[in-house]
Amino acid sequence: MNKRPVHREYKEAVKLHRWLEVRGIEHFHVPNETGGNAARGAMNKRMGVKKGVPDFFIFHGDRNIAIELKRKDGGSGATKDQRRWLQILAAHKFESYLCNGADEAIAVIEKAPENLICKKFSTDVTEVDCPF
């Protein structure tokens, strides 16, 4: 049986999506993944898809949240483009975060912004470690 391993970041994204769905929290995932398909990548570029746009946009109460979701262990971290988009969105009044795993992202959504465990981006500081 040739079973392909499921990408760890994918599992975290599914977990976060399900958590948001069950609670009726409005959100969407940006499908920037091309799966190594050059033709799909070229099509996306022509349609205006941008490198580094965060994975999730969440609208919870009066909060607009952008989350770049990484696997639990952080993997290779955020790219320069991903960090740039988090800063752009912070400049436009989004709470912008880099989270390692769905559990960190859920903590961002559940808790007041001053009690976070992942990286929060702002316009004046590249990134800030948020105390839990």
Mean pLDDT throughout 8-26?
A: 94
pLDDT 10s digits, 78-122: 899 999 999 999 999 999 999 999 999 998 898 755 545 556 666
**For 36-74, how does the pLDDT look when each residue is reduced to its tens digit (9 = 90+)?**
688 888 888 898 989 999 999 999 999 999 999 998 887
DSSP label of 128: E
Is residue 31 within 8 Å of 53, Cβ to Cβ?
no
The pLDDT value given to residue 44? 84
Place of tokens 């290779």: 76
